[in-house]
């Protein structure tokens, strides 16, 4: 059937109207549907707010964790001290390098009621990497076997040729040193440089106390310094041999104590004539059965003539003005051609390890050495005192863990 134009137009309009109505009908939701959508939107909003609150709370909890970890960090140090005092590294070593808790108990002095407490101590020391631990089925159920790590092997004493840092760490963790940090607020309110935190606490500086109590603190101090010197000098002669092989004929170890470093150098480089200079009361206790010569003196007044001067772990004890004075006296003691000063100390930011722990430990030691008004230095600070003392150049060799060798040339 043929439709007129008017009829076709009318039909088209009706179809368009029906289509629009269908769209409108589809857009109109029931009250239940509208309520459901509103609830969903509300739930989503609450979830978003809850997530935000949860994130904010977690930030606060993480901040609390950081402060707690910092606050109770000293417990790690005291746990290590307890392990040294009890002789736990030696006990494990005596069982072949690994031992269960009952085996450790047979080798240490411990009240039987404290066995469970020892387990808690070992848990901290394994978490911090001082000891290793593994589970072992010993027939009586699962038990823990503790083993020595590279760190705790350095705490084992009594073995010939075995490096033992226990005397050094015992000194560092002892009450005389630790108590020096209990009133830093009071120290910060005094004018620099005196008194040091150590002197404020004990009435004498560290060297005065060592001389006054030679049998007690003096002996402990010397044992700690010798242990550290033996350890680091063994690495020095292996890793930095070229530093000493190039010296013409003589070396003086300034403030070298009982000569541990000087004796190590003399054995490793027999072509060198080694001399140790220290204060008269120190030299008085020097060993006689050695090729090393001992000279009493004061580095602030003069240094014996030699082709090279060695300053091991000395400069960090003093402020810049005193360091410049020491270096000037060293410069007078060495030849202008071919002479040099060899400094073993920390260069903050340099080291043989790239880990964050390296710089952190350097900065911790910088704060620690403040207890005698000392300071560790970065390269810029070393350069300042070296050039101020009249030297023309220097070379840093960062191969000794947190410490470095600095060659200084006139």
DSSP state of 403: E
pLDDT at 42: 72
Question: Lowest-pLDDT range, 21-25, 160-164, 323-327, 373-377?
Answer: 21-25
pLDDT, residue 1, reads 52
**CATH number corresponding to 74-155:** 1.10.10.10
Q: pTM for the full model? A: 0.83
| Nearest of 408, 351, 397, 378 to residue 239 by alpha carbon | 397
- Geometric angle at alpha carbon 71, from 68 and 75, rounded to 5°: 105
Q: Answer with the residue of higher pLDDT: 196 or 7.
A: 196
pLDDT greater than 60 at residue 374: yes
Mean pLDDT of 243-266: 93
Are the CB atoms for 208 and 162 separated by under 8 Å? no
Task: Give the mean pLDDT of the chain.
Answer: 89
pLDDT in tens, 144-174: 999 999 999 999 986 656 789 999 999 999 9
Measured CA angle at 317 (ends 314, 321), to 5 deg: 100
Instruction: Tell me which residue has tokens 């200079």.
Output: 277
Least confident of 86-100, 282-296, 377-391: 282-296
Which candidate in 42, 93, 111, 316 is catalytic?
Answer: 316
pLDDT digits (tens, 9 = 90+) for 256-285: 988 889 999 999 999 999 999 999 988 888
Query: Per-residue confidence at 315, pLDDT binned at 50, 70, 90?
Result: very high
Domain boundaries, the chain: 74-155, 169-409
> Looking at the domain 169-409, which fold is it?
Rossmann fold (3.40.50)
Which residue, among 357, 309, 315, 360, has the nearest Cα to 330 in the 3D structure?
309
Query: Catalytic: 42?
Result: no
Tell me the C-alpha distance between 156 and 163, whole Å.
8
Residue-level length of the chain = 410
């Amino acid at each position: 059937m043929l439709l007129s134009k008017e009829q076709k137009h009318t039909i088209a309009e009706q179809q368009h109207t029906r289509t629009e109505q269908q769209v409108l009908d589809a857009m109109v939701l029931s009250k239940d549907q509208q309520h459901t959508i509103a609830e969903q939107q509300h739930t989503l909003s609450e979830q978003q707010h809850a997530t935000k609150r949860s994130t904010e709370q977690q930030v606060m909890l993480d901040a609390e964790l950081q402060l707690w970890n910092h606050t109770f960090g000293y417990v790690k140090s005291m746990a290590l001290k307890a392990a040294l005092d009890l002789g736990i590294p030696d006990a494990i070593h005596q069982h072949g390098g690994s031992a269960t808790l009952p085996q450790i108990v047979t080798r240490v002095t411990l009240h039987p009621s404290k066995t469970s407490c020892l387990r808690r101590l070992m848990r901290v020391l394994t978490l911090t990497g001082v000891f290793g631990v593994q589970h072992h089925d010993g027939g009586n159920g699962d038990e823990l076997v503790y083993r020595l790590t590279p760190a705790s092997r350095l705490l084992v004493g009594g073995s010939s040729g075995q490096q033992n840092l226990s005397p050094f760490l015992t000194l560092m963790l002892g009450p005389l040193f630790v108590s020096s940090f209990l009133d830093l607020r009071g120290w910060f309110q005094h004018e620099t440089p005196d008194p040091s935190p150590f002197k404020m606490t004990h009435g004498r500086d560290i060297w005065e106390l060592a001389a006054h109590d030679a049998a007690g603190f003096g002996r402990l101090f010397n044992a700690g310094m010798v242990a550290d010197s033996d350890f680091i000098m063994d690495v020095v002669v292996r890793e930095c041999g070229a530093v000493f092989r190039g010296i013409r004929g003589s070396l003086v170890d300034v403030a070298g104590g009982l000569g541990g470093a000087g004796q190590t150098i003399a054995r490793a480089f027999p072509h060198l004539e080694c001399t140790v200079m220290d204060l008269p009361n120190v030299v008085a206790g020097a060993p006689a059965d050695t090729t090393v010569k001992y000279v009493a003196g004061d580095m602030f007044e003069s240094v014996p003539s030699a082709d090279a001067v060695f300053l091991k772990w000395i400069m960090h004890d003093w402020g810049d003005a005193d360091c410049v004075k020491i270096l000037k006296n060293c410069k007078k003691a060495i030849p202008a051609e071919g002479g040099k000063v060899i400094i073993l100390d920390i260069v903050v930011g340099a080291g043989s390890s790239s880990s964050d722990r390296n710089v952190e430990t350097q900065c911790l030691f910088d704060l620690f050495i403040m207890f005698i008004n000392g300071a560790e230095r970065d390269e810029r600070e070393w350069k300042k005192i070296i050039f101020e003392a009249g030297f023309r150049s220097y070379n840093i060799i960062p191969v000794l863990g947190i410490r470095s060798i600095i060659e200084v040339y006139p």
